Amino acid sequence: MGFVIRSSSMRMGCSLMAATVRACETAGVEPTFIRLNGEDPASYILSANVERRSLTAGQKAIARALVSPEATDKGGRPRKGETVKSLNSSERVMLSQARLILRVLGESAALAVLAGSKLFDEALRETTAARDRHASDEAQMTRLRDEAPDLAELVTEGRMTLSEAYAALADCQKARSTSIHDRCKAVYEGL
C-alpha cells in the first residue's frame, strides 16, 4: 500500500498513516511506504491509480488535467512531474482538451466528467460553445468600440448589456440612414 504525506497536511497525514498501519495490522498485511524523493505526490498517485481503475479515456484525461492543469511552467518549459511523454498521441490530444474543459468550464464540470455524470464529449461541446460565445462577444465589443465608443463604455461599466448596446446601435444607424435618406430625397426633389 503506497502512502504520501504532504508537509502542508502533516497532522492529517500522520493520522492517516496511523490508521493505515492499524488497518494493515488488522488485515495481517505488512504496510509499505514509498519515499518520493522530490517526485510530485499528485503525479505519483495519478500514475499509480489511473490505469488500474475502470475509467473512460475522457475520465482519465480529466484526472490527468486535474493533477496537472497546465502543460508548461511560466517560462513555457514542461512542468516537473508532467507525464505527457508516456502518453500516446490520442491521449495527448484528450489531455489538451481536458485542460481546456477545466480552464473554460471550471473544476465542477471536470469533476462531473470524472464522476461519470457528464460525458467528456458533452463537456467538450459546451467548452467549444462557451469559447465561441466569448470570441463573438469580444468581436462585437471591438466593433462597438469602433462604431459607438459611448455605448461600449456603458457596456464596460455594466450599465448596459452587449445586446442592449447593439440594439441601440442598430436604432442609431437606422435613424442616421433614414435621416440621410430624407435629406438626399429633399435635395433630389429640389432639383
pLDDT tens digits, residue range 1-47?
A: 444 444 444 444 455 667 777 888 888 888 877 777 666 676 676 66
> Residues 86-134: pLDDT tens digits?
788 888 899 999 999 988 898 889 989 988 999 999 999 999 999 888 8
- Tell whether 126 and 152 lie within a shared domain: no
58: in domain: yes
Hey, what amino acid is at 67?
Answer: V
pLDDT category at 169 given cuts 50, 70, 90 is: confident
- Tell whether 20 and 95 lie within a shared domain: yes
Structural domain that includes position 168: 148-189
- Tell whether 165 and 78 lie within a shared domain: no
Write out 110-163 in H/E/C secondary structure: HHHHHHCCCCHHHHHHHHHHHHHHHHHHHHHHHHHHHHCHHHHHHHHCCCCCHH
Cα–Cα distance for residue pair 79/178, rounded to 1 Å: 60
- Tell whether 57 and 110 lie within a shared domain: yes
2: in domain: no
31: in domain: yes
- Tell whether 124 and 179 lie within a shared domain: no
User: Can you tell me the mean pLDDT for 141-156?
Assistant: 89
- Phi-psi category of residue 126: left, alpha or beta, with phi > 0 → left and psi -120 to 50 → alpha: alpha
> Residues 171-186: pLDDT tens digits?
887 777 666 656 666 6
- Tell whether 124 and 161 lie within a shared domain: no
> Of 87, 102, 130, which marks where a domain is finished?
130
Q: 0.85 exceeded by the pTM?
A: no
Which of 46 and 190 is assigned the larger pLDDT?
46
- Tell whether 114 and 177 lie within a shared domain: no
- Tell whether 85 and 113 lie within a shared domain: yes
- All three cell numbers of 172, joined, read 442609431
